[in-house]
């Protein structure tokens, strides 16, 4: 069918491929209000931001519809196709585009968003690490909005043993910032944890179709075990001693925090309401670790043992005193007793 009007004009320059795109080549559909001839690459110009090397690779078509193929070059950005009228496009009556005169048939076409950069992903670090509490939530951040991300793309291990993510939830507010939630019950015991995202076959991609191709992981250690205190106490049967020394051994599955060892750790109680803190003398070896042997001393009532001091004495660990390096505190309570039994003279 033939279309003839007073002056040929451009009806539209439309995108012929999905947008956004990650393709090296895209197409535009150019339509005119009537059949024209003389349409070739020199009638078009590209506009772009953020792209390098974009070029027109071909023009095909007939009558009033043409296809323009464009190489998108490299980089990410916006790519548009425009007609620059130089009167070389005419209808069957040789009337030029827009009528006589260059530029009066110019037309600005639609634009592609070209994205050739692959998305990346990071986990927010778990803090504190090591820790003595469960991890409830882990934020996951992609470099751009993605689709196809689901729980099945993630895996959790404890000491290398898989932990099913049953009950965990995954949510997002913008497809870039995601949250893995409901992990408390899955991370509530001692161990070295690792959360991993495997990109291969995940189906995770940005809106332009670029697939995630790098894995990500996050590790942390949890320690819920309390340090343990033990001691061996010696009975007193002889008068005259001016102090009582004893050693408490502190053990932990990771390390005793030696900065928590001081003269507030231990209370010694005895008959008739006697009560006195024990003074820390030293501990060995130096530095955090396990076990650590702390030597304490206290002065007998009246400054020296005598028959008035006879009775049973209890050595007690005080609450919130001795901790490990992740701030688990030993349980307050009696560590042992010793007896003072001095015969009268």
Radius of gyration of the chain (CA): 40
The answer for residues whose C-beta is within 8 angstroms of residue 276's C-beta and 6 or more apart is 267, 268, 269, 298, 299, 301
SS3 at position 241: coil
With left for phi above 0 and alpha for psi between -120 and 50, is residue 289 left, alpha or beta? left
- Do 194 and 239 fall within a single domain? no
Among residues 55, 81, 114, the one where a domain terminates is 114
Q: Judge whether 148 lies within some domain.
A: yes
- Do 251 and 266 fall within a single domain? yes
Neighbours of 336 (CB within 10 A): 15
Q: Judge whether 5 lies within some domain.
A: no
Among residues 222, 244, 263, the one where a domain terminates is 222
Q: Which residues of 4-40 are buried (b: 16+ CB within 10 A; e: fewer)?
A: eeeebbbeebebeeeebbbbeebbbbbebbbbbeebe
Which pLDDT belongs to residue 345?
82
Cα separation values, 41 from 14, 29, 50, 67, Å: 16, 13, 22, 11
Contact 28, 16 (CB under 8 A): yes
- Do 14 and 93 fall within a single domain? yes
C-alpha 31/C-alpha 28 separation (Å) is 10
* Angle (CA) 257 234 290, round 5°: 20
- Do 24 and 49 fall within a single domain? yes
Q: Judge whether 168 lies within some domain.
A: yes
- Do 183 and 244 fall within a single domain? no
Cα-Cα-Cα-Cα dihedral sign, residues 127, 131, 136, 141: positive
Residue 1 pLDDT more than 50? no
- Do 235 and 201 fall within a single domain? no
Which pLDDT belongs to residue 192?
97
| pLDDT cut 90: percent of the chain above it | 98
Q: Judge whether 48 lies within some domain.
A: yes
Among residues 222, 244, 274, the one where a domain terminates is 222
C-alpha 165/C-alpha 269 separation (Å) is 51
* Angle (CA) 210 211 215, round 5°: 140
- Do 44 and 138 fall within a single domain? no
Contact 106, 84 (CB under 8 A): yes
Which pLDDT belongs to residue 6?
80
Residue 4 pLDDT more than 60? no
pTM of the model: 0.81
- Do 146 and 249 fall within a single domain? no
Domain coverage including residue 81:
10-114
For the stretch 307-319, pLDDT in tens is 999 999 999 999 9
- Do 218 and 238 fall within a single domain? no
SS3 at position 6: coil
Q: Judge whether 4 lies within some domain.
A: no
Mean pLDDT, the chain, as a whole number?
96
Which pLDDT belongs to residue 5?
54
- Do 110 and 127 fall within a single domain? no
- Do 53 and 25 fall within a single domain? yes
- Do 143 and 40 fall within a single domain? no
* Domain CATH for 285: 2.60.40
C-alpha 216/C-alpha 200 separation (Å) is 11
- Which of 75, 161, 70 minimizes the C-alpha distance to 117? 75
Contact 80, 45 (CB under 8 A): no
- Which of 171, 166, 160, 162 minimizes the C-alpha distance to 137? 171
Domain count, the chain: 3
For the stretch 147-192, pLDDT in tens is 999 999 999 999 999 999 999 999 999 999 999 999 999 999 999 9
- Which of 124, 150, 151 minimizes the C-alpha distance to 135? 124
Q: Judge whether 334 lies within some domain.
A: yes
* Angle (CA) 141 157 190, round 5°: 110
Q: Judge whether 2 lies within some domain.
A: no
* Domain CATH for 126: 2.60.40.1220
Q: Judge whether 56 lies within some domain.
A: yes
């Amino acid at each position: 069918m033939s279309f003839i009007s007073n002056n040929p004009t451009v009806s539209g320059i439309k995108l012929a491929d999905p947008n956004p795109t990650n393709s090296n080549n895209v197409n535009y559909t150019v339509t005119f209000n009537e059949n024209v001839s003389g349409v070739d690459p020199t009638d078009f110009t590209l506009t772009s931001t953020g792209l390098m090397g974009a070029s027109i690779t071909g023009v095909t078509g007939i009558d009033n519809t043409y296809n323009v193929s464009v190489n998108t070059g490299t980089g990410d950005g916006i790519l548009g196709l425009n007609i620059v009228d130089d009167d070389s496009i005419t209808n069957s009556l040789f009337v030029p585009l827009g009528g006589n005169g260059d530029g009066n048939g110019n037309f600005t076409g639609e634009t592609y968003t070209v994205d050739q950069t692959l998305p990346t992903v990071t986990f927010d670090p778990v803090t504190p690490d090591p820790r003595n509490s469960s991890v409830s939530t882990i934020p996951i951040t992609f470099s751009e909005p993605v689709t196809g991300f689901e729980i099945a793309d993630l895996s959790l291990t404890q000491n290398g043993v898989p932990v099913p993510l049953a009950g965990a939830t995954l949510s997002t507010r913008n497809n870039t910032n995601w949250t893995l939630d409901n992990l408390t019950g899955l991370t509530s015991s001692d161990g070295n944890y690792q959360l991993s995202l495997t990109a291969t076959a995940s189906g995770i991609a940005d809106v332009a179709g670029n697939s995630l191709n790098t894995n990500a992981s996050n590790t942390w250690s949890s320690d819920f075990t309390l340090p343990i205190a033990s001691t061996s106490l010696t009975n007193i049967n002889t008068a005259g001693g001016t102090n009582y020394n004893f050693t408490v051994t502190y053990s932990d599955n990771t390390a005793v925090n030696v900065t928590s060892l001081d003269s507030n750790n231990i209370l010694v109680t005895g008959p008739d309401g006697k009560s006195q803190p024990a003074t820390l003398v030293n501990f060995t070896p130096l530095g955090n670790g396990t076990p650590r042997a702390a030597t304490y001393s206290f002065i007998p009532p009246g400054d020296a043992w005598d028959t008035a001091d006879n009775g049973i004495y209890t050595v007690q660990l005080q609450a919130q005193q001795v901790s490990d390096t992740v701030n688990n505190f030993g349980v307050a309570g009696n560590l042992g007793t010793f007896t003072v039994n001095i015969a009268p003279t």
